[in-house]
Amino acid sequence: METITLQHPKRQSKNVPRFGNGTVRAHKVKRAAFRLSDLDVSDTIALLDNESNDLLFQIATHYIPRFDTETLIAPDQLTDHLLNAIAQHFNIDNPKSIAVGEDRLVVLDSLEHDFYMFDFSTFTSLRYRSPKLYECFCTLLRGLKLPFVEAEETQYFYMDYFEFILDGMSKRDQESEKRHFQKAVRTIDHIKEGEMTLRESISQLNNYKPTNKVYANIKTFLLEWSGTQFTFSNSAPYEYYESDEDIEQFDKSIEQRTDVYDRIGMFCSKGASFNRSFNQSMQEDFNNSYLLNPCWTITIESAQIDLRDEISDFKRFSTEFYRLVSALEKK
């Protein structure tokens, strides 16, 4: 099972603005090759403008230890050489993810723009099968500080809306849906009212000796991620987007473009109507909102390594979380 996401392959380029100057410039070539130390930006062949190429060179020489400025590089290969060197130094998987702003590099494609909602209902089985592990899991959730849908912390779901989705259902289905909803509310209340501290949780986990492999993996997961918070959900360098006729919504203010409820959250209801309405609500907002994928930037003054690592950690957390969900469902 994977993280719940609405990203469709054909939608991956939805509302993705272009950075920097995307115009191909026809430069004259005076020589077949030259040294980086002799850099003359008016001489380069690249999709980037002169200033962008110069910025790439400055970033590379500033950050990369023993960067060889004497390397012979053909003019039409200069940009690729610099991008590859920067990508390798900063552990960027795809050099093409590096875009150029006026005075900084912007690393795109860090995480696809979308909503990321975690269904932790499977973990509630631990409440009776392994109470100590369950309380530590609840401590993890409190520490993450992600919105809990049923607790009315987001606009996704609240009691009036719940009553609305019951309309037209058979009495039997209504009762089933109510039971799921009530269980979810009790679970959220239990999590929020928990008093176990992070230190107490870590101590209990260290003393916990599971004989079951799945529980042992959950223990490892909790020890690694307890105390983590993901705060990047709206991190994007909006000020470096350039106006472009292809961006229909560019004239919207930053407040309007970022006025989207939390894109990372959790829920724990198995109710069919809840899930159907929940997904429909996310899909509608996805269709009508201007979502930007989290990015991080590199300047001569600083590189947002912490943000890069946080985005990378979120990907790993998501994968490990749902790997455990699958294991618990099979148990």
pLDDT digits (tens, 9 = 90+) for 161-199: 666 777 777 888 888 888 888 888 889 889 989 999 999
Q: Are residues 210 and 271 in the same domain?
A: yes
Query: How far is 328 from 125, CA to CA, in rounded Å?
Result: 8
Question: What is the predicted pLDDT for the residue at 99?
Answer: 81
Least confident stretch, 73-77, 84-88, 196-200: 73-77
Q: Are residues 233 and 268 in the same domain?
A: yes
pLDDT band at 3 (very low <50, low <70, confident <90, very high): very low
Least confident stretch, 229-233, 257-261, 264-268: 257-261
Q: Are residues 89 and 119 in the same domain?
A: no
Cβ–Cβ under 8 Å, residues 116 and 5: yes
Q: What's 164-229 look like in SS3?
A: HHHCCCCHHHHHHHHHHHHHHHHHHHHHHHCCCCHHHHHHHHHHCCCCCHHHHHHHHHHHHHCCCC
Q: Are residues 139 and 215 in the same domain?
A: yes
Split into its structural domains, the chain has a count of: 2
Q: Which of 21, 39, 2 is nearest to 241 (CA)?
A: 21
The pTM (predicted TM-score) of the whole model is: 0.74
- pLDDT average, residue stretch 44-56: 58
Q: Are residues 31 and 71 in the same domain?
A: yes
Q: Are residues 246 and 314 in the same domain?
A: yes
Residue 224 lies in a domain: yes
Residue 253 lies in a domain: yes
Q: Are residues 206 and 85 in the same domain?
A: no
Residue 211 lies in a domain: yes
pLDDT of 85 > 90? The answer is yes
Q: Are residues 40 and 141 in the same domain?
A: no
Residue 41 lies in a domain: yes
Query: How far is 48 from 54, CA to CA, in rounded Å?
Result: 10
Query: How far is 218 from 213, CA to CA, in rounded Å?
Result: 9
- pLDDT average, residue stretch 256-282: 74
Owning domain of residue 249: 112-148+196-330
Phi and psi at 100, nearest 5°, equal -120, 125
Question: How many other CB atoms are there within 10 angstroms of residue 82's CB atom?
Answer: 28
Q: Are strands 98-100 and 105-107 parallel, antiparallel or unpaired?
A: antiparallel
Q: Are strands 34-35 and 296-298 parallel, antiparallel or unpaired?
A: unpaired
Q: Are residues 206 and 81 in the same domain?
A: no
The count of C-alpha atoms lying within 13 angstroms of the C-alpha of 304, restricted to the half-sphere facing its C-beta, is 20
Query: How far is 304 from 326, CA to CA, in rounded Å?
Result: 34
**Burial category of 53 from C-beta neighbours within 10 Å (exposed 0-12, middle 13-18, buried 19 and up):** buried
Query: How far is 156 from 278, CA to CA, in rounded Å?
Result: 7
Cβ–Cβ under 8 Å, residues 59 and 298: yes
Q: Are residues 28 and 88 in the same domain?
A: yes
Residue 6 lies in a domain: no
pLDDT of 31 > 80? The answer is no
Q: Are residues 26 and 144 in the same domain?
A: no
pLDDT of 290 > 80? The answer is no
Query: What is the token pair recorded at 316?
Result: 């790993």
